[in-house]
Chains A and B, each alone.
Chain A
Amino acid sequence: MALIEADKVVIEFPIYGQKHQSLKRTMLHAATGGVLATDSRDHVVVRALDGVSLTIREGDRIGLVGHNGSGKSTLLRVFAGAYEPVSGSIQVQGSVASMLSITLGLDPEATGMENIFLRAALMGVSGARTREMLEEICDFAELGDYINMPIRTYSSGMSMRLAFAISTSVSSDILLMDEWLSVGDATFSEKAARRLNVLVDSAKIFVLASHDATLVNRICNRLITLEHGRIVADER
């Protein structure tokens, strides 16, 4: 059973150390970004999400669209459990795989092999399970003997390939993605897209934040438009 239920979720970032009086006047009506306001103690706050309510059920393929700073990434982080709402509530049922930052936790001084274990641990995969998946991950990343070299010796494309191979090795109920992941050269990116599609298909809920309208229309069956931290359209 996978379900995401958000009820009037508000996320506010306090901005400290700003001369808030002037900032408040000049930026309150800015075209992009969350709504700037002041809280009860007169701190400047950015209201990144302003009362977001929605229910996401199994089978939903959500496309989150909106301008820069409309709250897409913040909403993804709320779903991932990194941010807790200032007010309102969020309920997430099912295992969550977050592709928000696939290189998070990689240690440049450690070898590719060591990094597989590091990254897998962060994803909540046990050591025994990681050992089982090791061969498959190495095969997919196509790094050959480089897998036993520190990843600081890798090209950026190579470390992305490794990060991608690890992050996409486990399927989950809920898959969150900030922009479609595209890695490597032409042949590899084709292979990567196939793997990603399988992962998306196996997820019960998929949420993709993207600026790419054609992509979103192709993959998603429900389009949610955010503006200034509010949902302005929710179309199926």
Chain B
Amino acid sequence: MPGVMVASRMQRAFSDVFLGLRNVRMWHMLAWQEIRQRYRRSVLGPFWITISTGCLVAGMGPLYSKLLNQPTGEYFTYIAVGLVLWQLMSGLISDCCQAFINAEGFIKQIRLPLSLHVLRVVWRHALMFAHNSLIILLVMVFAPPPLHWSLLTSAAAFVVLLVNALWVGLMLGMVSARFRDIPQFINSLLQVGLFLTPILWKIEMLGEHRWFALINPIYHFMEIIRGPLMGAEVSAMSWAVVGAVTFFGWIITMLAFSRFRARIAFWV
């Protein structure tokens, strides 16, 4: 009875995600351990994350404001928020490709929900973002955004971003475990992504070629978080794109995950 099989497969895929999410202790522990491992015995520890991003912002900010003829204050906020978010998104995408491959030891030895390995990566980046967000706070102290309730939508948008990170991680982790060229391909794309996404430059600068940024889903994710922090109004289109990506992303991922979940242990 193939119908019954498909139904139970879907059930197992959902329970995998559900059980993974519920095991907060485990993914927090593994994520935090990984960060500590990287910075152990260094005096400043994880605050090196903040410092290295701070250097990037401090270096690129003034340079590009001169290159692009932008007023320093407001542009500085723009680029700081953009770079911090880019670090989060590109790091997530790149590390999610390795989520299952790196967890080979776990996957082959003990029974754990597979989603746990993705949650671990997502949460690690969320923790790293928490360190980086100090830079955003610092910049906002010097150039405070107009206090408005819409600032709260930034926080909501951040949660939406993490919800998307989970399906992206499941999908990329799965595809990368099977086809080992995918992580390389994604990393090549990410390298140029920093320049193709409106982070250092603004969408208005494209003039009639705005479409070039508008077809980039990363732009919309960035905009719903960055916009309110800049005191700008977020276009309904950005939220619509994000909504559609979230909805269809999860549907496609759950279909693929239910189909191939049991195969992942043989691919890694």
Contact = CB atoms under 8 A, between A and B. Distances in A.
A121 B267 CA distance: 26
B211 interface: no
B109 A109 contact: no
Given A109-B37, A109-B40, A127-B25, A82 B111 contact: yes
B266 A104 contact: no
Contact of B29 (A77, A100, A101, A118): A118
Interface string A70-82: 0000000100111
A80 B109 contact: yes
Q: Is the interface of B mostly helix, strand, loop or mixed?
A: helix
A107 B105 contact: no
B110 A118 contact: no
A105 B109 CA distance: 11
A55 to B, nearest CB: 20
A208 interface: no
B109 A83 contact: no
A77 B25 contact: no
Contact of A101 (B37, B105, B111): B105
Contact of B33 (A13, A16, A81, A118): A118
B130 interface: no
Nearest to A123: B110
B266 A83 contact: yes
B35 to A, nearest CB: 12
A181 to B, nearest CB: 15
B37 A122 contact: no
B11 to A, nearest CB: 14
A84 B110 contact: no
Interface string B26-54: 10010001001100100000000000000
Contacts of A12: 266
Contact of A83 (B25, B40, B265): B265
Interface in A64-113: 77, 80-84, 96, 98, 100-101, 104-105, 107, 109-110
A123 to B, nearest CB: 8
A82 B266 contact: no
Contacts of A150: 40
Given A109-B37, A109-B40, A104 B26 contact: no
Contacts of B266: 12-14, 83
Candidate in B26, B29, B110, B112 with the most chain A CB atoms within 10 angstroms: B110
A80 B265 contact: no
A117 B29 CA distance: 9
A100 B112 CA distance: 15
A92 B112 CA distance: 15
B106 interface: yes
Interface size for chain A: under 10, 10 to 19, 20 to 34, or 35 or more residues?
Answer: 20 to 34
Contacts of A118: 29, 33
Nearest to B265: A83
A141 B110 CA distance: 24
B37 A98 contact: no
Contacts of B262: 84
Given A109-B40, A110-B33, A101 B109 contact: yes
B107 interface: yes
Given A96-B111, A109-B37, A104 B29 contact: no
B109 A100 contact: yes
Candidate in B36, B107, B108, B178 with the most chain A CB atoms within 10 angstroms: B108
A162 B34 CA distance: 21
A83 B37 CA distance: 30
Contacts of A101: 105, 109
Contacts of B110: 80-82, 98, 100, 104, 122
A105 B29 CA distance: 11
A56 B139 CA distance: 65
Candidate in B37, B40, B111 with the most chain A CB atoms within 10 angstroms: B111
Given A84-B262, A121-B25, A127-B25, A105 B106 contact: yes
A104 B37 contact: no
**Closest 5 interchain pairs by CB?**
A81-B111, A84-B262, A109-B40, A101-B109, A109-B37
Given A14-B266, A110-B37, 7 more contacts: A80-B111, A81-B110, A96-B111, A105-B106, A109-B40, A110-B36, A117-B29
6 contacts: A80-B111, A82-B111, A84-B265, A101-B109, A105-B106, A121-B26
